[in-house]
A and B are shown apart, each in its own frame.
Chain A
Amino acid sequence: MPSRWLFRITALIAATLLAACSGGSGFQEADAPPADETGGETAAGGETAGGETGAEGGQTLQLWGAASSPAEDAALQAIVDQYSEETGNTVELVFQPEYDTTLQTAFAGGQPPDVFYVGDLRLPDLAEAGVLAPAEGMIDDPDDFYPSLVEAMSYDGTWYAPPKDFSTLALEYDVAALSEAGIEPPTTWEELAAAAEALTTEDRVGLVLGAEYPRWGAFMFQNGGAVTDEEFTEMTVNSPEVTEAFEYLQGLYEQGYAATATELDAGWPGEAFGQGKAAMTIEGNWMVGFMRDTFPDVEWAAAPLPEGPAGPGTFAFTVGYGVAANAANPDASWDLVNYLVGPEAMLEYTSQFPVMPSRQSIADDWLEANEGLDPFLEGADYAHAFQFVPGFQDAVDTLNDGIQGVAAGNREIDQVLSSTEQAGQGVLGG
């Protein structure tokens, strides 16, 4: 008879109730400093995260990251192990699926990890909420980082998360296609348009380009435009500069020299490029690993993004290491971060992969290991961050939807820009 599990379930429920009675109401206590990940509050559940806190030999820290490829995860694990060995601190590296959701839940529940990845797009939200500890004075040789990256990892003038590495957008092209057509990689808007036209054939378009702000934005910068001013106080998206950049791109799609990935039956532009459905694309460092694994036979190369009327412009995407504002163990946490973004550890990690080191002093060493990727590195000098202020997501979505419409030819540019302006004004209060 099932009385045994009847008993067991009753026992479990009773345990839950007891815990509920002793646990308090949930809201008041959430204000308390985050429980030390390794003990304290979680002890009642029986299974705790790690070893002993405050043991003689060293500290136990949890480091959370978003999972990438197994090789990259293993490389970071090796560096973390090295650190643990050298310092006597124990670092548990936990890769999280659905990283942003998991991290936010842990913060809201008052139980954040000690050290964690912070993406450039998310940084303003975390900084505004006041959950990040400032990095100033915690990191050796901070001037060595690319200024654009430090800026991307800052909010309201305070630097929070030292960047671990970064990627930029460049122009990737099919070497054979260009040499067949007898053209050089384009360096200006005019040349890009001409190349796209010349490279377009019956079963290939010249350029495959995603219809979204993180791609089209680069063209806005190249024409001296931007969505907001630099201080995020007012919307500047509804301007002649942006309109012109959009008209330029719209023309390419309209004439059939450019296409989105979906139009080419591909999941994303890199795929269409690899399949030979397009001769050029604009993507980031991740193209390297992708092409090697999926299209090993395609010969391709990268060039800096063509310059617009106002000069060069691209995006840099970066991730940094954050420390919780009320970390249980700030000294040990910053010590770990300092080690991870130190020149040795950073070079060891980045030289194995196409992502670029955020320290300028090791750029040359990295290039030696990653030949031909200088166009990506070069972008660091003039790159903009893909970043706004908290709550701006609605406006970005409105812009992205508009861009999709402009590329598809069913939305008017001025209407898209003015609706984006309205959406953004609601957030900036302008």
Chain B
Amino acid sequence: MNAVRRRLQTSEAIAGWAFVTPVLIGLVVFLIVPILMALWISFRDWNGFTPPGQSTFVGVDNYRALLLEQGVKRFDFALAIRNNLYYVLGVVPTQTAIAFLLAVVVNQKFLRGKSFFRTAYYFPSITSSIAISLIFIFLFQRTGAINFLLNPILASDNMNWLENANGVFHNLFSVFGVTTPPTFLAENSVMGLTLWQWISGPSVTMYAIMILATWTTLGTLMLVFLAGLQGIPNEVDEATMVDGATAWQRFRHVTLPMMKPTLFFVLTIGLIGTWQVFDQIFAISAGGPQKTTLTPAYLVYREGFRGSSMGTATAVAFILFIIIIVLTLIQRRVVNPDEV
């Protein structure tokens, strides 16, 4: 029996490597090698035009300028981290929850027109981002539909969404009469940003972009959840039909545990994707107004392709890389997918 098990183990080891080798070769050639090159560049002063071999070695200067030295680079990097942090905190839970809900609903057996609803909910994912941005801009104009709906609630007069650098939390504080920061918050700073600036919340414009991003990724995530739900055998599926408390309990104790691997996937992909938000920023705000939608990924583009400092750009990318990895590990602890 032991011999059999050993033989099985050996063959699993061989098969395991055989299965991953093709993709591993591709990963090394097209991703690992470029990533190592970029890492190498992050320790150099390179203008991004001449062959990289002609750049000069500068040690950790690029990292130091971003993290330690007082100046515009560190300030912008801190702003980008702050902006992106609020973006992640706002988008990831929302998109995960709504996508899961949509998937559960359109997976119901008794639902008529399932195909229609699934396709409809997938549409924002495939509609061109330009079309979506365009409509989005129309909706969020001062005289647009969003303000039309919100004016009575907010008691505000045609809010300016698209060029509004005011932090949402700052706005909230001002409702309670706090418009100037307490001295403690104004005088202490981290990475060149005062604590008051750190707790600003996303700017109104960033908030609008968060709504847009959530809406466009819902379809894709719904699809992933849908695939996960399909893997759950029928009798379990039937048990999750919506009705009162028992259904909720079954959902909670049956469906949810079975969906853990999928949930882990969606959360991880969501975390990684939101920390790299670039497309919407590039298309809509280019970092403005007043740098409140500047994100690390956009900073990479700005430094590398507009500012000719590829060294700084790659350094930003690798600090971002470390942030993402650390957060993913923490999240993995929390969701604990192995405990299925």
Measured CB to CB, the residues of A under 8 A from B are 9-10, 13, 16-17, 20, 26-28, 30-31, 100-101, 104, 107-108, 110, 125-126, 128-131, 260, 262-263, 265, 267, 390-391, 393-395, 397-398, 400-402, 404-405, 408, 410-411, 422-423, 426
**Would you call B290 and A265 a contact (CB within 8 A)?**
no
Query: Which of A13, A17, A108, A130 has the largest number of chain B CB atoms within 10 A?
Result: A108
Q: A210 to nearest B CB, angstroms?
A: 11
User: Is A262 a contact of B302 with CB atoms below 8 Å?
Assistant: no
Q: Are A397 and B22 in contact (CB under 8 A)?
A: no
Chain A residue nearest to B30 (CB atoms) is A16
A and B contact pairs by CB, cutoff 8 A, 5 listed:
A13-B22, A126-B49, A263-B160, A391-B308, A393-B307
Given A108-B52, A125-B47, A393-B307, A265 contacting B143 (CB threshold 8 A): yes
A9 to B23, CA, bound (A): 11
A394 to B316, CA, bound (A): 15
Residue interface bits B74-93, CB-to-A below 8 A is 1, else 0? 00100000000000000000
Query: Which residue on A lies nearest to B137, using beta carbons?
Result: A267
18 further contact pairs, Cβ within 8 A, besides A262-B160, A391-B308: A13-B22, A16-B26, A20-B29, A31-B51, A129-B48, A129-B50, A131-B50, A263-B142, A265-B143, A393-B302, A393-B307, A397-B287, A402-B290, A404-B288, A405-B290, A408-B289, A410-B166, A426-B72
**Alpha-carbon distance A397/B51, docked complex (angstroms):** 28
- Given A395-B72, A401-B289, A110-B307 contact (CB < 8 Å): no
Per DSSP, are chain A's interface residues mostly helix, strand or loop, or mixed?
helix
Question: Which residues from A are CB-within-8-Å of B144?
Answer: 265
Mask: chain B, 302-323; 1 = CB below 8 Å from A; 0 = not: 1101111110000000000000
Q: Which of A16, A404, A405, A408 contacts B29 (CB 8 A)?
A: A16
How many residues of B are in contact with the other chain, CB < 8 A?
41
Q: Which residues of B56-82 have CB atoms within 8 Å of chain A's CB atoms? A: 71-73, 76
Within 8 A of A (CB), among B118-152: 137, 141-144
B15 on the A face (CB < 8 A):
no
Chain A's closest residue to B292 (CB) is A401
Contact present for B49 and A394 (CB under 8 Å): no
The residue on B at minimum CB distance from A402 is B290
Establish whether residues B165 and A408, one from each chain, have CB atoms under 8 Å apart when the complex forms: yes
| Distance A423 CA – B287 CA, assembled complex (angstroms) | 17
B contact residues around A394 at 8 Å (CB): 72-73, 76, 307
Nearest CB of chain A from residue B197's CB, rounded to whole Å: 13
Query: Which residues of chain B have C-beta atoms less than 8 A from A411's C-beta?
Result: 290
Quote the shortest CB–CB distance from B217 to chain A (angstroms).
23
